[in-house]
Amino acid sequence: MDMKRVKDYLYWLYYQYQLVTCSYVLEPWEQSMFHTITLTVVAMVVYTAYVFVPIHVRLALEFFSQIFGAQPGSTV
């Protein structure tokens, strides 16, 4: 894969991000603050999903297995 194409594609994605969030109209220090807050929120959402989604999926599977009459697993 051509590195120039990858670089152009990443630049295009960043440009789309700026257009969608309207961050291109901000001053540089405002852009920095906005990007920091956005990155922090995204990191917190990813971490929360990583920690809590598997627990909720396991509990949902246990709940539905009890509803549909599956036998509980061994507690030994």
C-alpha 12: how far from chain center: 20
pLDDT tens digits, residue range 16-47?
999 999 998 999 999 999 999 999 999 999 99
Domain ranges of the chain: 27-67
Residues 6+ apart with CB under 8 A from 68: none
Q: For residue 75, name the pLDDT band (cuts at 50, 70, 90).
A: low
Query: d(Cα 74, Cα 76) in Å, to the nearest integer?
Result: 6
CB atoms within 10 A of CB 58: 10
For residue 2, name the pLDDT band (cuts at 50, 70, 90). confident
Residue scoring higher pLDDT (59 or 2): 59
